[in-house]
Amino acid sequence: MGRIVCVANQKGGVGKTTTSLNLAVALAKGGSRTLLIDLDPQCNATSALGATPSAMHPLISSVPLVESVVPSGVRGLDLLPGSRSVRDVEAIAQQARSGAAVLERHLAGGLNAWDFCLVDCPPSVGDLTRTALAGSTEVLMPIQCEYFALEGLTQMIEVIREVMEARQGRLRFGGILLTMHDATLELTNEVEAEVREFFGEIVFETVIPRDVAVSEAPSHAQSVLDYAPRSRGARAYMELCMEVRNCE
């Protein structure tokens, strides 16, 4: 089985879905067979690739997960669409609360065709995120370069630590990613310095800059690598891709 990367942060608006999407595309363009799993009920990762959310989430469907995968339009990248159904979300959460490792069971049952599976999580530390963490081999946490970047981070890390202990070494910390980085702002530099001083080597060297192309790309149902391949954002996600691939 390949690497299963859970992209998670309890705060919204930190670039979580943007990172899941663009990193998945970068990995695919770099030659890795990649699957993007949309676990967020907002289904932004699904719509960003021009796909339609599923009527029933594949995680609670009786159909084998591999049969629910759809092509993304990007060579080497497939998508497991999300569902906006509140009933489906509650069903997944209920199974997680009962101790059923839903995602882990599905991922262990026939997705060996992919080198990377990226799981886009909702902005919370609830049952859906815990389910994703339990089924993943590593977690990547995007952090926005702003004053409240570290707010609530302790709680998220505690949840990750709990899953690490419960999974007996299966899950590891893949890294912290600084997003919406603007080196011309003193606040950005202060936040970056504080994060790097506190977390050290687990912070990626790559930072994702503020770039209008990154924000515009989803409205065209594209990643920034396809929408504006020469942009600063596209270059940053390719650099992140290389860091992630070298972290095996």
- At which residue do the structure tokens 């990154």 appear? 214
Specify the pLDDT at position 75: 94
CA distance 122 to 78: 20
Check which CATH number belongs to the domain holding 160 and give it.
3.40.50.300
Q: Write the pLDDT tens digit of every residue in 3-14.
A: 999 999 988 889
Q: Tokens at residue 39, please?
A: 């676990």
Specify the pLDDT at position 108: 60
Specify the pLDDT at position 206: 97
Which residue from 41, 171, 167, 161 is spatially nearest to 99, judged by alpha carbons? 167
Angle at 113 between CA 20 and CA 62, to 5 degrees: 85
Long-range contacts of 218-224 (CB under 8 A, 24+ apart): 218/18, 218/21, 218/44, 218/47, 218/48, 221/47, 221/48, 221/49, 221/50, 223/21, 223/22, 223/25, 223/26, 223/48, 223/74, 224/22
Q: Which has more pLDDT, 135 or 14?
A: 14
pTM: 0.92
Q: Tokens at residue 19, please?
A: 């990172």
- Does residue 106 have a pLDDT over 70? no
Sign of the torsion formed by the C-alpha atoms of 126, 130, 57 and 116: positive
Specify the pLDDT at position 114: 92
Q: Which has more pLDDT, 108 or 211?
A: 211
Percentage above 90 pLDDT, the chain: 53
- Does residue 93 have a pLDDT over 60? yes
Pair 45, 221: CB distance under 8 Å: no
- Does residue 88 have a pLDDT over 80? no
Number of domain units in the chain: 1
Specify the pLDDT at position 222: 94
- Does residue 230 have a pLDDT over 90? yes
Domain that holds residue 156: 3-245
In three-state secondary structure terms, 186 is: helix
Over residues 109-130, the mean pLDDT reads 85
Q: How confident is the model at residue 104 (pLDDT cuts 50, 70, 90)?
A: low
Q: How confident is the model at residue 97 (pLDDT cuts 50, 70, 90)?
A: low
**β-strand 77-80 against 34-38: which pairing, if any?**
parallel
Pair 81, 58: CB distance under 8 Å: yes
Q: How confident is the model at residue 127 (pLDDT cuts 50, 70, 90)?
A: confident
Specify the pLDDT at position 95: 67
- Does residue 1 have a pLDDT over 70? no
Q: How confident is the model at residue 57 (pLDDT cuts 50, 70, 90)?
A: confident
